[in-house]
Amino acid sequence: MDDIIQHIKKWQSGDDACYDIIFKHYYNVSCRTAFQLTRDRQAAEDIVQEFFISFWKKRERLAITTNPDAYFKRAIINRSINYIKSRKAQQGTDTIKDIPSLSNTATNLHRTDDQKVIKHCIEKLTPRRRQIFTLYRLEDLKYKEIAELLSISVKTVEVQLRLARESLRACLKLNLKGSYVFK
């Protein structure tokens, strides 16, 4: 790890050859991390390549002094989650376009309001809890996969998901007019 920190410092000082070393060191593991989340090889490679372009552009402002492995992993996880969110939003938009309009407009308005409440309740979760909940519910990752991806124990995943369900249940109970029972 100290070698990588030294390569980063040399690269920031103008030694472009060190960038190749950093790239080769992190590229494959970053692609695997992105693929675990996206389940799409091309998207994973795009995410990692875009990260490295951004990394290059931020060269002078970077302050990685202690744990470059954690920095790279967190950056790739965040970019992968952002990709997943945008893909889900795009799929949702496409799905909505394909749904024939229902005759009962009130039903549509009620669903839209409910979706906003659900989104609001999820956003109220702590960032870590929301991340774990999203990986489990939206990405269908198993407890063990989430634990490995986030470098936490399986027990922590279990506890965070239980707390997320409790928080969501309470929030939905307060905000929805008897429309849902969250189990």
CA separation, residue 165 to residues 61, 133, 134 (Å): 39, 9, 12
Q: What is the DSSP letter of 88?
A: H
pLDDT value at residue 136: 86
**pTM for the full model?**
0.52
Amino acid at position 182, single letter: F
Q: How many CA atoms lie within 13 A of 171 on its CB side?
A: 17
SS3 annotation, 39-108 = CCHHHHHHHHHHHHHHHHHCCCCCCCCCCHHHHHHHHHHHHHHHHHHHHHHHHHHHHHHHCCCCCCHHHH
Instruction: Give the residue carrying structure tokens 């969501």.
Output: 168
Distance, CA of 145 to CA of 154 (rounded, Å): 9
Which pair of structure tokens corresponds to residue 91?
């799929």
Is it the case that residue 37 has pLDDT exceeding 70?
Answer: yes
Question: pLDDT tens digits, residue range 93-140?
Answer: 443 343 333 334 334 444 556 677 778 888 899 999 999 988 888 777
Q: What are the CA-CA distances from residue 109 to residues 6, 101, 112, 165 (Å)?
A: 57, 12, 5, 25
Domains along the chain?
Answer: 1-99 (1.10.1740.10), 102-183 (1.10.10.10)
Span 41-92, pLDDT tens digits: 999 999 999 999 999 998 888 888 778 988 899 899 989 988 988 887 777 6
